[in-house]
C-alpha cells in the first residue's frame, strides 16, 4: 500500500504518518511535508522516487506526472488498467492526504500583492484530490486532519467501509470547490482604489457561494428546524460582521439572536455619528445618534421601552461603562459592539443570560446580498447609497428648517432598516415611532403615530417609498408632524404635495426608495 502526503496544515501530520508506516504503508511526500516528517524521524520517500522526475519550476510542477495520477486513477476492478500500469512500470497509490495552499489566509492579509496571491493558488493539490475522490472506491482521500484518526483506526481494523470512503470523497470535492470559489471571488475584485464598473463584477453569469460551518445551533427559527452558522468564504479578505463575531459572555446564541443581531449591527454601521439601536424582530424599535453614548442609548430606549424588553442593543462605538450601567434595568437578549470598556464588560457579565458579542468588519460580503428562492437565488447590491450623495428636492412651498433637515436625513437613513411599508418618525436625531411590514402605507403611519404618542408633535416623517395617496400625509399632519421625506414618483404626487402645503408642512423628495422586504 502506498500513500501520498502533501499538506499545508501540518496538524496531526506526524502521528498520522507514523500510524501509516506502522501499518506497512510506503509514504511519499513533497516539499515542506517531506521536511517536517523527516525532521520528526518518520521514514519517508521523496515523490521523485515515485515519478523518477525532479520538482521543476520552483516546485510548481511536482505531482503532475503519470507516476502519480496513473497510480491514483487506475481502477482496481479493471485488469487492463493494472496491466497498463505494469507495462509502464507504475504502481498503484491507495491513499492521498492533501490540504491546500493557504490562499484565503494569504489574501485576507493587508497589502497582499496579486503576485503573492497567484503564488498561493494550489494546482497540484486540487488535482490530486479530484483524482483520488473520483476513484474513491479504490483510493482513500483525506483533506481534514480530524479524519486522520478514524482512517488509521479503520485501516488497523482491516478495511474502510464504502460509506466512509464516499463521505471522505464528498468532503474532498467540497474542499476543492470552496477553494476555487474563494479564488474566483478574489479575482472578481481588482486592486483597492481602482474605479469604474470593472472594480467588482457584482453579478457575473455564473457564481458559487462558499460557506464554512462555524458552529451548530440548538435549532432554527423554531425547535423543529435544524440550523447552523456559516462563514462566507466566497470573497476572501471580507471577513467580519456578525458571522465572525466573538461571543464574550452569555448562553448559547440562537438562530433568531443572530438574525436580530445582524439587523442591529447593520443599522448602527450605517451611521458615522455615535449611534445606538434597539432591535426587536429585525426592526429598530429605538434608534438615536448623539455625541454622548449614554444619552444616545437613553433616547433609543425611549423610542419604544415596552418593545425593547427582550430585544437586541447595538452601538457603533466601544461600549462604555456608563452605558452598561444605564442598560442595567432592562432585559436584553444580546448586546453588540465593536469593543467594550473593561468595566463595561464586567457589568454586562453579571447578567448570566445576556449574550455579549464583539463585532469587527463590515456588514456583508463586498456589498452583495443573496436570498434563496425555490429553484434558485436572488442576488443584489446592498442598499448603501452614501448620504453625502443624496440630493434632496423641496417640493412644497415651505423649505425645511435646518433642524428639520438634519432630522429628515437621520430619518431617511433609519427608514431603510425598517421592513416595508416603512414609516419612521424622528426628532432630535432619535426615533420617536415607526410602522413596519404593513400591507398599506397609511396603516404604517397610524402605527408610528401611536408608538410616538405626544412625541410625534414637532417630529419629521420618512417613508421608504412614495405615498400613493395624500391620506398618509394628512394623518401625519394630524399627529403634529412638520416635515416629510419620501422618494416621490407617484401619479398623485401633486395631491400629496397639496396636502402638505395645506398643513404648512415641508416635504422633500429623494428620487430613490428604500424597500426592505
- The phi and psi torsions of 213 (rounded to 5 degrees) equal -65, 130
CA dist 106 and 46 (Å) reads: 27
Q: Are 412 and 487 within 8 A, CB to CB?
A: no
CA dist 436 and 515 (Å) reads: 11
CA dist 62 and 6 (Å) reads: 11
Residue count of the chain, please give it.
517
Q: Are 52 and 62 within 8 A, CB to CB?
A: no
User: What are the residues whose beta carbons fall under 8 Å from the beta carbon of 407, sequence distance 6 or more?
Assistant: 426, 427, 428, 429, 459, 460, 483
Query: Cα–Cα distances in Å, from 103 out to 60, 275, 328, 381, 492?
Result: 15, 37, 45, 26, 55
Q: Helix H segments across 432-470?
A: 441-452
Q: What is the 3-state secondary structure (H, E, C) of 151-218?
A: HHHHHHHCCCCHHHHHHHHHHHHHHHHHHHHHHHHHHCECCCCCCCHHHECCCCCCCCCCEEEEEECC
CA dist 179 and 183 (Å) reads: 6
- The phi and psi torsions of 318 (rounded to 5 degrees) equal -55, 130
Residues annotated as part of the active site: 134, 281
CA dist 410 and 299 (Å) reads: 14
Residue 73 grid coordinates: 486513477
Residue 492 grid coordinates: 398623485
Residue 104 grid coordinates: 484565503
CA dist 510 and 367 (Å) reads: 22
Pairing of strands 332-337, 355-358: parallel
Residue 406 grid coordinates: 438634519
Dihedral sign, Cα of residue 335, residue 340, residue 344, residue 350? positive
Q: Is 402 exposed, middle or buried (0-12, 13-18, 19+ CB in 10 A)?
A: exposed
Q: Which of helix, strand or coil describes residue 257? A: helix
Amino acid at each position: 500500500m502506498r500513500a501520498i502526503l502533501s499538506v499545508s496544515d501540518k496538524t496531526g501530520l506526524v502521528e498520522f504518518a507514523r500510524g501509516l508506516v506502522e501499518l506497512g504503508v510506503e509514504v511519499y511526500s513533497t516539499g515542506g511535508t517531506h521536511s517536517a516528517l523527516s525532521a520528526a524521524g518518520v521514514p519517508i520517500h521523496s515523490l521523485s522516487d515515485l515519478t523518477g522526475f525532479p520538482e521543476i519550476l520552483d516546485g510548481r510542477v511536482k505531482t503532475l506526472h503519470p507516476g502519480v495520477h496513473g497510480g491514483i486513477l487506475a481502477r482496481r476492478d479493471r485488469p487492463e488498467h493494472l496491466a497498463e500500469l505494469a507495462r509502464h512500470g507504475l504502481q498503484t497509490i491507495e491513499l492521498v492526504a492533501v490540504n491546500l495552499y493557504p490562499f484565503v489566509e494569504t489574501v485576507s492579509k493587508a497589502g497582499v500583492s496579486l503576485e503573492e496571491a497567484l503564488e498561493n493558488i494550489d494546482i497540484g493539490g486540487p488535482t490530486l484530490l479530484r483524482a483520488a475522490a473520483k476513484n474513491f472506491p479504490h483510493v482513500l482521500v483525506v483533506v481534514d486532519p480530524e479524519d486522520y484518526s478514524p482512517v488509521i483506526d479503520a485501516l488497523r481494523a482491516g478495511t474502510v467501509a464504502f460509506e466512509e470512503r464516499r463521505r471522505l470523497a464528498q468532503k474532498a470535492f467540497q474542499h476543492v470547490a470552496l477553494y476555487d470559489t474563494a479564488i474566483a471571488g478574489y479575482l472578481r475584485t481588482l486592486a483597492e482604489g481602482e474605479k469604474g464598473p470593472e472594480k467588482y463584477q457584482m453579478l457575473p453569469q455564473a457564481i458559487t457561494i462558499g460557506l464554512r460551518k462555524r458552529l451548530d445551533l440548538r435549532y432554527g427559527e423554531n425547535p423543529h428546524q435544524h440550523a447552523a452558522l456559516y462563514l462566507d468564504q466566497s470573497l476572501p479578505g471580507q471577513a467580519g460582521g456578525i458571522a465572525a463575531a466573538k461571543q464574550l459572555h452569555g448562553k448559547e446564541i440562537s438562530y433568531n439572536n443572530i438574525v436580530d443581531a445582524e439587523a442591529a449591527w447593520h443599522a448602527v454601521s450605517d451611521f458615522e455619528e455615535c449611534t445606538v439601536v434597539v432591535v426587536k424582530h429585525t426592526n429598530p424599535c429605538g434608534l438615536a445618534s448623539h455625541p454622548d453614548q449614554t444619552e444616545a442609548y437613553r433616547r433609543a430606549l425611549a423610542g419604544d421601552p415596552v418593545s425593547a424588553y427582550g430585544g437586541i442593543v447595538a452601538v457603533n462605538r466601544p461600549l462604555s461603562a456608563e452605558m452598561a450601567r444605564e442598560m442595567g434595568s432592562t432585559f436584553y437578549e444580546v448586546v453588540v459592539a465593536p469593543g467594550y470598556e473593561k468595566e463595561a464588560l464586567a457589568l454586562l457579565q453579571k447578567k448570566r443570560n445576556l449574550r455579549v458579542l464583539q463585532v469587527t468588519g463590515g456588514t456583508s460580503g463586498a456589498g452583495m446580498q443573496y436570498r434563496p428562492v425555490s429553484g434558485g437565488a436572488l442576488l443584489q447590491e446592498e442598499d448603501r447609497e452614501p448620504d453625502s450623495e443624496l440630493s434632496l428636492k423641496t417640493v412644497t412651498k415651505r423649505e425645511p428648517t435646518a433642524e428639520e433637515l438634519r432630522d429628515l436625513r437621520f430619518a431617511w437613513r433609519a427608514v431603510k432598516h425598517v421592513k416595508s411599508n416603512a414609516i419612521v418618525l424622528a426628532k432630535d436625531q432619535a426615533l420617536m415611532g415607526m410602522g413596519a411590514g404593513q400591507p398599506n402605507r397609511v396603516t404604517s403611519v397610524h402605527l408610528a403615530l401611536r408608538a410616538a404618542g405626544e412625541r410625534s408633535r414637532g417630529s419629521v416623517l420618512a417613508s421608504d417609498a412614495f405615498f400613493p395617496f395624500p391620506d398618509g400625509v394628512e394623518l401625519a399632519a394630524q399627529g403634529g408632524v412638520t416635515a416629510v421625506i419620501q422618494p416621490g414618483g407617484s401619479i398623485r404626487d401633486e395631491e400629496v404635495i397639496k396636502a402638505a402645503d395645506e398643513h404648512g408642512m415641508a416635504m422633500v423628495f429623494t428620487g430613490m426608495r428604500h424597500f426592505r422586504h
